Amino acid sequence: MESTVPLSHYLVLSTTLFVIGVLGVLVRRNAIVVFMCIEIMLNAVNISLIAFDRYMNLHTGQVFSFMVMCVAAAEVSVGLAIIISIFRNKPTVNLDEFNIMKW
């Protein structure tokens, strides 16, 4: 039996990527980059889903990560559309300049 990577290592990878994504969301002001960081977070989640799936020998985790991809696709398409329409009103993607939603 070939040696395998322990589950915890996958989880470390997943966690690291997730936290990098979180920090990116917090740090960056460019709306598109913020979106990319959200993608990183989603991918990090996928890693743990797949890893657990493999270790428990089910297919549920794969189906779940498939769903995550669907949601990500939907989110990105709508999100980018929103960015485009905001950009029409105000030619910037800097999130700090969009504070009109407060009363």
Residue 11 and residue 51 in contact, taking contact as beta carbons nearer than 8 Å: yes
Q: Nearest distance from residue 68's CB to other proteins, in Å? A: 10
Query: How many residues in the chain?
Result: 103
Q: Nearest distance from residue 41's CB to other proteins, in Å? A: 10
Q: Nearest distance from residue 86's CB to other proteins, in Å? A: 9
DSSP-based helix, strand, coil % in the chain, nearest 5: 80, 0, 20
